[in-house]
Amino acid sequence: MIGGLSALILLTFLHTAEVPHLISLTTLELGGNATFHCPFSEKADRFFHWYKQSLGKMVQTVATVVYKKIELISPFNHTRFHVHKSNDQCVLTINHINKEDEATYFCQTGSEFLQHFVRGFFLAVNDYNHQTSVYVTQTPKSSSVQLGNTVTLQCSFLTKNKESSAQCPSDRSVHWFKSGSGENHPSIIYRNFTHSNNMDDTERRCIYHLSKTIQNLSDTGTYYCAVVTCGVILFGEGSKVDTSKYVQSLIS
């Protein structure tokens, strides 16, 4: 588990020839369809690859495009996985997704002499048919702060079973995502946070905090926490962070 998370962190910043990009988060329900787009130029890019990395597993090649020829690699060469080119994009589609599809997908493109990673996508699959006694909550639901001030967000991992022997996930198993205005998908962010372990009569509670200084409007948005435990990923409902109306009126 830790090895898989370390690999996920390693792949968080995919470097192109110009600037690093954050991996975006896509959350879908079991049985849905996922579509990922990656820039592709038939004139400049003679080689193109789609990769998949599941938590705790090695990287797998999903598909290759060599001199315009598309090939799906086993075990992905079946009807659920599709790759096609459209308007300078190479598109990966996964139909009828299941928990086995939950992973990081990223694309690589270039020539014979230079190839680079372009984009990354983390696909999270919600299985509401799988009942569990553990869940994640977030507080506050929303917070309005002035620019330059710091907001502290709380992520709580809870279990209703007092006799459960499950341990609190380690700090490495907690990730934070942010979705800002105008962004299609939340992006993975990593910050220092503190961890405490509280218990009461009815719940076992593990609490994680993220402190963030809101320096400009790009720091506002909805922050989500995700806890990885027992082979599953549990997401919080999000905490919305914005600036006060007074500050916004001064900026405008």
Nearest to 180 by CA among 222, 140, 144, 235: 222
Choice among 62-71, 80-89, 163-172, 214-223 with the minimum mean pLDDT? 163-172
Q: What domains, with CATH codes, occur in the chain?
A: 2-126 (2.60.40.10), 134-241 (2.60.40.10)
DSSP code of residue 54? -
Strand partners, 211: 152
Does pLDDT of 23 surpass 70? Answer: yes
Could you report the per-residue pLDDT of 152-183, keeping only the tens digit for each? 999 988 776 555 555 666 555 788 888 765 55
Mean pLDDT over 222-244 rounds to 82
Q: Give the per-residue pLDDT at 38.
A: 92
Mean pLDDT of 68-83: 91
- pLDDT-based confidence at 41, cuts 50/70/90? confident
Reply yes or no on whether the pLDDT at 3 is more than 50: no
Tokens of 35: 């579509």
Q: Return the higher-pLDDT residue of 130 and 208.
A: 208
Q: Please give the Cα distance from 3 to 209 (Å, whole number).
A: 23
| pLDDT confidence of residue 130 | 58
> What is the rounded distance in angstroms from the CA atom of residue 241 to the CA atom of residue 237?
13
Mean pLDDT confidence for 124-132: 68
Give percent of the chain with pLDDT exceeding 90: 27
For the chain, counts of helices (H) and of strands (E): 2, 21
What pLDDT sits at residue 22?
Answer: 65
Q: Per residue in 177-202, pLDDT tens?
A: 887 655 555 566 654 455 555 554 45
pLDDT at 102 over 80: yes
Instruction: State the pLDDT confidence band at 73, using cuts at 50, 70 and 90.
Output: very high
Amino acid letter, residue 175 = H
Band of residue 11 on the pLDDT scale cut at 50, 70, 90: very low
**Residues β-bridged to residue 71:** 64
Q: How far is CA 106 from CA 90, 219, 230, in A?
A: 12, 25, 25
pLDDT tier for residue 222 given thresholds of 50, 70 and 90: confident
pTM over 0.85: no
The residue that leads in pLDDT, 129 or 100, is 100
Q: What is the pLDDT at residue 86?
A: 84
